[in-house]
Chain A
Amino acid sequence: MPYFQEYQLNMDRADTVLDALMHIRDTLDESLTLRCSCRGAICGSCGMRINGHAALACKTKVQAMVSERGVVQVEPMNNMPVIKDLVTDMAGFWDKVRQVQPWLQPAGPEPEGEYLASSESMNHLTGVMGCIMCGACVSDCAALEVDERFVGPAALAKAYRFVADPRDGAGRSRLLALNEPGGMWDCTRCMECIEVCPKGVGPMDRIMLLRSRGIQANVPSTCGSRHAEVFADLIYQKGRLDEPMLAARTFGLRNLSRLLSLLPMIFRAFVRGKVPKSGPLHRAIPGMEKIRRLFQRMEERL
């Protein structure tokens, strides 16, 4: 059974959590096991949970994390097996990164010179290319916590790096693969990965862009893509959400059993006066034509 071990030590204002852990290993408990290498937030080795959230120990100051009682709680990363103390098994992490085929797959004949890409397109990818594969986003991913088959934020951010690269020719096949269960639609949009990423990669933002590209590429519709499409259409029609219509059109006749399964809950909500108006009974907001004109202008700009 996992347990917490307490250590008492004095640290300076400038010390990092990694400094503290190495101090423990050097002076208090030589069996304490952790990974680290560069000590400068470049190698991504020292990912761990500090006060409940994933972070790089080398980039986290003790002073910023210490509680009123003088405690800093350190744990191994979540969503991956623990080997010993603060060392986790990253094999599953790498398997999922490999699953998205993280290499360029150009299409067509090879150019005589180099493959060219505009500065703008590469600048757009700079942020996502900053990923150091530390696993912090995977550790704190809420969707992975309930389903280990989800490919996860690190692999999806890496997938976007290639989908959005103009030199890559496999965008559609990549999007088709990511459209499958366990892929881009299984993210719960909790933003944990954005918050804990030590390099500002913003994995969830990349997942949202993957979804957008999937819709643009007309990959086969899923409940996720229909939900987004219907949501946009309802705002276009009424300026605000028609919740029963959103559910009905998202599931539709393709999944009648799912709709029927919601009936007991809908009945209980109805008895309590909680079923919203829908269809013709659900009126558009005043000045609706102004909202529609904004939609149309955005459409014209595409």
Chain B
Amino acid sequence: MKFAFFPGCVSKGGCPELYQSVMEVYPRLGLELEEMTTASCTGAGVLQEKDLKLGDVLNARTFALAEQSGLPIMTICSTCQGVMSQANHRLTTDPPYLAAVNEILGEEGLTYRGTTQIRHFVWILLEELGEQGIRQQVRRPLKNLRAAPFYGCYLQRPSEALGFQDQPERARSLELIMSWLGLEVVDFPGKTRCCGFPLLTINEKNSLRMVASHTLDAKRHGADILVTPCPLCHLNLDGMQSRAASQQQADIDLPIWHLPQLLGLAMGMEAKRLGLTRHLVSTQGVLDKLGSAVAKIEA
């Protein structure tokens, strides 16, 4: 299945191991990707604080480009997915609004008809490959590893814009895929809460409190790792974890993984090729726990 690939800014910026791991795994999943090199940033909900309609115009342009090529969009960032899903929901449920946005796009020779599908990589794994397709890919079941999902906000809310009514299993997509990879899934109340990243520049103290709260809670529930579909959650939970630990005077040391890294490891790929050396919280202890099948990544 072919997709217009929208990697987002952060997977090619501060979280490059996400892009790297997706590039490693996707060819073996029967997916074909055509990267949208001329699409702009979604605005990440931040541009929308200043001007919501401008954000919708930029995203409608991206949807129109995909529509022209006849391809659905694949995202790998929850924030990109959520912001685009919300924009698409506003555009496709309000015809006068879509017409007003098209009037602006029309001056660039573009029109958006409202037909573009936007799907996160996790949803594509769930809905296109499914349990059988994923299990068939597993060469190295990730047994003896207790993993807690961490969705963050944008793949959970608002559920109306994310299509949960038609695809209810999207609400537990991480748990399902993680279990198909052989992991022991740890449930904990913080899995759908905010990581605190949007507060980081505004109120770092509160942002770090959220990091500490969720990581410590996941550890209390027995998790060896947290798994996230969102690079922004990763930036905060991994990148700011040591500061959160200092602020809360707690020992955290909980590795935060991207789902494609787990998938790649289960498919038998090397840890280093999946960017597992690029985390700020070391992943080596987890790889040791997975056993001798996984080579030392420092090697």
Interface residues in chain A, defined as those with a beta carbon under 8 Å from any beta carbon in chain B? 52, 142-143, 145-147, 181, 185-186, 188-192, 194-195, 208-209, 211-212, 215, 222-224, 227-229, 231-232, 235, 239-241, 243, 247, 250-251, 258, 265, 268-269, 272-277, 285-287, 290-291, 293-295, 297-298, 301
B188 to chain A, nearest CB (A): 11
17 interchain pairs, CB-CB under 8 A? A142-B210, A188-B199, A190-B198, A192-B153, A192-B193, A228-B46, A235-B58, A240-B9, A250-B201, A265-B280, A269-B280, A274-B14, A274-B278, A285-B37, A286-B38, A290-B38, A295-B54
Point out residues on B near A: beta carbons under 8 Å.
9-10, 12-17, 37-41, 43-54, 57-58, 61, 104-105, 107-108, 153-154, 156-159, 189, 193-194, 196, 198-199, 201-207, 209-210, 213, 239-240, 242-243, 277-280
| Bound CA span A26–B220, Å | 39
- Shortest Cβ gap from B81 to chain A (Å): 13
**Contact present for B13 and A241 (CB under 8 Å):** yes
Q: A208-B49, A229-B50, A272-B277 are in contact. List 18 more A-B contacts (CB 8 A).
A: A146-B210, A181-B203, A185-B202, A186-B206, A190-B153, A190-B193, A194-B158, A212-B52, A215-B49, A215-B50, A232-B51, A240-B9, A265-B240, A265-B242, A285-B39, A290-B38, A291-B40, A294-B108
Nearest neighbor of B242 in chain A, beta-carbon distance? A265
* A294 near B43: Cβ-Cβ < 8 Å: no
Q: Does the CB pair A240–B40 fall under 8 Å?
A: yes
A268's contact among B156, B157, B280, by CB below 8 Å, is which?
Answer: B280
Q: How far is the CB of A261 from chain B (nearest CB, A)?
A: 9
B14 interface neighbour in A188, A194, A224, A276, Cβ under 8 Å: A276
The residue of chain A having its C-beta at the shortest distance from the C-beta of B208 within the complex is A146
Q: State how many angstroms separate the Cβ of A160 from the closest Cβ of chain B.
A: 14
CB distance from B142 to the nearest CB of A (A): 23
> Which of chain B's residues has its CB closest to A229's CB?
B50
**Distance between Cα atoms of A282 and B186 in the complex (Å):** 40
Q: Would B158 and A208 count as touching, CB distance under 8 A?
A: no
Q: Is the CB of A298 within 8 A of B51?
A: yes
List the A side residues contacting B107 at CB < 8 Å: 293, 297
Assuming the contacts A146-B210, A208-B48, asked whether A241 and B41 have C-beta atoms less than 8 A apart, the reply is: yes
A298 touching B9, Cβ below 8 Å? no
Residues from chain A with Cβ under 8 Å of B205 in the complex = 147
Query: Closest Cβ of chain B: how far from A184's Cβ, in Å?
Result: 10
In the bound complex, residues from chain B placing their C-beta under 8 Å from that of A215 are: 49-50
B8 → chain A closest CB, angstroms: 9
Q: In the complex, which residues of chain A have a beta carbon less than 8 angstroms from the beta carbon of B206?
A: 143, 146-147, 186, 188
A285 and B209 contact, CB distance less than 8 A: no
B51 contact set on A, CB distance < 8 A: 212, 232, 298
Contact indicator A272/B279 (Cβ below 8 Å): yes
Which residue in chain B gives the minimum CB-CB distance to A300? B104
The reply to whether B242 and A190 contact each other, CB–CB distance below 8 Å, is no
Tell whether A192 pairs with B157 under 8 Å between CB atoms, given A241-B44, A265-B280: yes
Q: State A294–B59 Cα separation when bound (angstroms).
A: 11
Question: Are A227's CB and B9's CB within 8 A?
Answer: no
* Chain A residue nearest to B210 in the complex (CB): A146
Contact A231 B43 (CB under 8 A): yes
- In the complex, what's the smallest C-beta–C-beta distance from A298 to chain B, in angstroms? 5
B38 touches A285 (CB 8 A): yes
A140 to chain B, nearest CB (A): 9
Query: In the bound complex, what is the Cα–Cα distance between A241 and B79 (angstroms)?
Result: 13
Task: List chain A residues, Cβ under 8 A from B105.
Answer: 294
- For A250, the chain B residues whose CB sits under 8 A away are 201
Given contacts A208-B52, A250-B201, A293-B107, contact A269 B239 (CB under 8 A): yes
Residues A188 and B196 in contact in the complex (CB < 8 Å), given A195-B159, A228-B49, A272-B280: yes
* Chain A neighbourhood of B199, CB < 8 A: 143, 186, 188
Q: Which residues of A contact B46 (CB under 8 A)?
A: 227-228, 231
**A285 and B40 contact, Cβ closer than 8 Å, known pairs A188-B199, A223-B201:** yes
Given A191-B158, A243-B13, A265-B280, residue A298 in contact with residue B57 (CB < 8 A) = yes
CB distance from B152 to the nearest CB of A (A): 8
| Residue in A231, A286, A298 whose CB lies within 8 Å of B104 | A298
Q: Which residues of B lie under 8 Å from residue A227 when comparing CB positions?
A: 46, 201-202
Smallest distance from the beta carbon of A76 to chain B beta carbons, Å? 15
Q: Do A212 and B41 touch across chains, with their CB atoms under 8 A apart? A: no
7 nearest interchain CB pairs? A190-B194, A276-B13, A241-B9, A191-B157, A146-B209, A142-B194, A228-B49
Among candidates A181, A232, A265, A268, residue contacting B50 with C-beta atoms closer than 8 Å: A232
B16 and A274 contacting across the interface, CB-CB below 8 Å:
yes
- From known contacts A265-B240, A287-B38, infer whether A146 and B13 are also in contact, taking CB-CB under 8 Å: no
